[in-house]
Amino acid sequence: MAKDVVLTLTGIDRHYGQGETVLSILKGADFTLRSGETVALVAPSGTGKSTLLHVAGLLEHPDGGEVTVGGVACQELGDEERTAIRRKSIGFVYQFHHLLPEFSALENVMMPQLIAGLSKPEAAERAKQLLDYMRVGHRADHRPAELSGGEQQRVAIARAVANAPLVLLADEPTGNLDPETASYVFSALEALVRQSGLSAMIATHNHDIARRMDRCVTLVDGKVVELEV
């Protein structure tokens, strides 16, 4: 695998159901993400965007093909090994923030770092830096219910990159926000990705956002296809 490639999907098949009711979502899908690259995944609902992201992020096992993250082939790995790679190398942002409601913004961003073995002071310091970068540092002590939708999503982005992953996967990260807030949140996400050198694949319906990425791909008949930006 090329030195600057951080994620590769090769011949990915994914289907659901049994017998005559099998629904094939991905059919030999191939995709490559290079270091520091941002890719927009633009496709209609129901074509497999979330499935592709879940397979790429080791949340789902493909029915065929191989996922390689940071040079490590993952198809034959056990659950513990896949979980370790996911914690270390992959960050996730969803349409809904999925923050833990009983913890503050700061504690939510600290959580993955503590799980990874960082000390509490180290985790708190990095969490503060990330929240400040996302311009929600002044809300660090607030719980999710006390934050606006845009603030919640910026905290979720900070949490996703807290362990400095190789790859950030985002599934409609601004889809639940009004257009003005969506643009603001994506600008913060884009700045963080560019500044840190992260590689990102972001599923979005927003073509204005897609045009700000390095590449744009879609799904056609279960395969990843390049689009002209």
Token look-up 């899908």 returns 29
- 90: β partners: 167
pLDDT in tens, 132-187: 988 899 999 999 999 998 899 889 989 999 988 989 999 888 777 788 888 888 88
Count structural domains, the chain.
1
Asked whether residue 2 carries a pLDDT value surpassing 60, the answer given is: no
pLDDT of 1 > 50? The answer is no
- Show the domain range for 115: 3-224
pLDDT of 210 over the 80 cut: yes
Within a domain: 111: yes
With respect to residue 144, please indicate whether it lies within any of the assigned structural domains: yes
User: How remote is the C-alpha of 76 from its chain's centroid?
Assistant: 22
189 part of a folded domain: yes
Confidence (pTM): 0.87
The answer to whether 47 touches 219, Cβ cutoff 8 Å, is yes
**Does residue 69 lie in a domain region?**
yes
State the Cα–Cα distance between residues 151 and 92, nearest whole angstrom.
17
d(CA 174, CA 52): 18
Across 100-118, average pLDDT: 93
Q: Is residue 40 part of a domain?
A: yes
Q: Find the CATH number of the domain harbouring 41.
A: 3.40.50.300
pLDDT single digits (tens) 41-100: 998 777 888 899 999 999 989 999 999 998 889 988 888 999 889 888 999 888 777 899
User: To which H or E segment does residue 215 belong?
Assistant: strand 215-220
Task: Give a yes or no: residue 22 inside a domain.
Answer: yes
pLDDT tens digits for range 212-224: 889 999 999 999 9
Q: Which helix (H) or strand (E) holds 154?
A: helix 149-160
- Within a domain: 229: no
In degrees rounded to 5, what are phi and psi of residue 83? -65, -40
